[in-house]
Amino acid sequence: MSYTAYLKEANFIAGAWVGADSGENIDVTNPATGEVIGTVPACGEAETRRAIDAAAGAFDGLADMPLLERVGLLWKLHDALMDNQKTLAELLTVEMGKPMAESMGEIGIGAQYVRWFAEEVRRAKGEMVPAPTNGRRFLVTKHPVGVVGMITPWNFPSSMLARKIAPALAVGCTVVAKPATATPYSGLAWGALCDEVGFPKGSVNVVTGSARKIGGAIMDDPRVRKVTFTGSTEVGKELIRQSADTVKKVSMELGGNAPFLVFNDADIDAAVAGCMVSKFRNSGQTCVCANRIYVQDGVYDEFVAKLKEKVEAMKVGDGRKDGVEQGPLIDMEAVEKVEEFVADAKAKGGEVVSGGGRHGNGLSFFEPTIVTEATQEMKFAKEEIFGPLAPIFRFTDEDDAIAWANDTDFGLASYAYTRDIGRIFKLNAKLQYGMIGINSGLITTVEAPFGGVKESGLGKEGGSQGLEDYLDVKYTAVDF
């Protein structure tokens, strides 16, 4: 089936496919070809309010649906994702640029989130707390928070919604989702799939258009009880401020600045393989990508030589072509940002040993790049790169490496390669990060809580914690 089967050029509100009130549309471009693949409605406040009306109207029905019936709908949603995996993956690649293999993986993990939360919701248990006197019972029960607003980015246009929509629907929350403007179709596909499998009208609404207007309407409305956002720290902070007026629950998955530590005792081949996947997956455009690679001096040269070999063998191109491992960046602004990081590093003594500039394919393609002799004074030591640039720092002392790793406002993912068990526990204690990969460059999994500390966010996605974030706890005292 062609990807156009799920390319919906309309918004999904109250169970109907509709356009913007103004009739205006926004073009959506394939970054690998520069071609416009379609349009989506340019919606704003009025349409968002109607989506919230629909979600609020559908809430009681979904929350009161027998648990096993809701779980059954999630099973069907899982199957619909897997049955259409290739079609949905192609849609994702065409609007976003990542290689087909990565898109297939993204749809696959999205389906796994649906299955995980369908399983986990059956164990969303409450408690009976012992009372201090006779004749009393204290019940602690869990209830869906209500309508949930979801704002998601372009780098994982399908799976970022999976982690939010699946737990929300599992517990009976209804949804108003705003996907990123660059990649709206994978978000709209969630509306289509939820409708196909039989979720009641209004359960899932998807609105595209102005972030400020749609976001504003979601944040202003007291009926929206929770907002869950994945994106930049800057926008996340603004949403946290906006949430104060109606005291919404917030979940925030914000920026990262992941350190990747390689110690002298590491298995260097494994460290290089882990670095490739952590750094270059999605062209470096993930919030858990290695941003600063700290290598101990005893293995520095070996690590750089082996990484260089792998980086220079990478095939860059249109993600739909066979064997392509790196697609384009999302837009030219992203390219300019990576160029700035390279120029800044060069000016401060960094050495470009691979790549370093725009790729011969033109458009927003960028060469996989390695900069050695990176230092804490360079811009990427503080800022998220979000591109295929691997800066390699040198360290001698373990405590310096840990201190540098923590020297950032962010605290999302971190990685370390070592075979010393004592050091592993020290890293677990000392690294100020929500996630730590030891001898692993790929740690995202549905079973574990994904999320950051410090300015990387609030709340968790996945794991049992990822369900709790959609539940309110209620306490009832019964005297008898």
Catalytic residues: 253
Least Å distance, CB 282 to ligand ADP, is 12
DSSP sequence for 153-211 = -SSSTTHHHHHHHHHHHHHT--EEEE--TTS-HHHHHHHHHHHHHTPPTTSEEE--B-H
Interaction between residue 419 and ligand ADP (CB under 6 A): no
Size of the site for ligand ADP (CB under 6 A): 14
Q: Hey, is 461 helix, strand or coil?
A: strand
Instruction: Give the x-and-dash track for 178-217 against ligand ADP (CB under 6 A).
Output: x-xx-----------------------------xx--x--
Region binding ligand ADP by CB under 6 A among candidate stretches 49-57, 82-90, 230-238, 452-460: 230-238
Kindly tell me which of 269 and 409 has the beta carbon lying closer to ligand ADP: 409
The answer to whether 342 touches 357, Cβ cutoff 8 Å, is yes
Cα–Cα distance list, 426 to 97, 422, 432 (Å): 39, 6, 12
Provide, for the chain, the percentages of residues in helix, strand and coil under a 3-state DSSP scheme, each rounded to the nearest 5.
Answer: 40, 25, 35
Considering only residues 133-162, where is the footprint of ligand ADP by CB under 6 A?
151-154
Least Å distance, CB 270 to ligand ADP, is 30
Least Å distance, CB 178 to ligand ADP, is 6
Kindly tell me which of 354 and 408 has the beta carbon lying closer to ligand ADP: 408
Q: Hey, is 7 helix, strand or coil?
A: coil
Kindly tell me which of 255 and 319 has the beta carbon lying closer to ligand ADP: 255
Least Å distance, CB 257 to ligand ADP, is 14
Rg (CA), the chain: 23
Question: Of residues 235, 276, 316, 370, which one binds ligand ADP by CB under 6 A?
Answer: 235
Question: Of residues 25, 232, 246, 440, which one binds ligand ADP by CB under 6 A?
Answer: 232
Kindly tell me which of 74 and 235 has the beta carbon lying closer to ligand ADP: 235
Interaction between residue 231 and ligand ADP (CB under 6 A): yes
Least Å distance, CB 209 to ligand ADP, is 9
**Cα 96 from Cα 283, distance rounded (Å):** 11
**Cα 241 from Cα 221, distance rounded (Å):** 14
Least Å distance, CB 412 to ligand ADP, is 13
Region binding ligand ADP by CB under 6 A among candidate stretches 4-12, 38-46, 227-235, 452-460: 227-235
Cα–Cα distance list, 73 to 80, 183, 471 (Å): 10, 26, 19
Kindly tell me which of 179 and 356 has the beta carbon lying closer to ligand ADP: 179
Region binding ligand ADP by CB under 6 A among candidate stretches 231-239, 273-281, 316-324, 399-407: 231-239
DSSP single-letter state for residue 317 = S
Q: Which residue has the tokens 């700290």?
A: 294
Residues 6+ apart with CB under 8 A from 152: 160, 161, 164, 177, 178, 179, 180, 187, 229, 230, 231
Considering only residues 12-71, where is the footprint of ligand ADP by CB under 6 A?
none
Least Å distance, CB 175 to ligand ADP, is 15
The answer to whether 409 touches 234, Cβ cutoff 8 Å, is no
Least Å distance, CB 392 to ligand ADP, is 25
Region binding ligand ADP by CB under 6 A among candidate stretches 173-181, 259-267, 443-451, 459-467: 173-181
Kindly tell me which of 170 and 412 has the beta carbon lying closer to ligand ADP: 412
Phi, psi of 440 (to 5 degrees): -150, 135
DSSP sequence for 388-447 = SEEEEEEES-HHHHHHHHH-SS--SEEEEE---HHHHHHHHHH---SEEEES-S----TT
Question: Of residues 238, 339, 373, 420, which one binds ligand ADP by CB under 6 A?
Answer: 238
Interaction between residue 246 and ligand ADP (CB under 6 A): no
Nearest residue to ligand ADP, scored by beta-carbon proximity? 215
Kindly tell me which of 102 and 468 has the beta carbon lying closer to ligand ADP: 102
**Cα 87 from Cα 84, distance rounded (Å):** 5
Which residues make up the interface to ligand ADP (CB under 6 A)? 151-154, 178, 180-181, 211-212, 215, 231-232, 235, 238
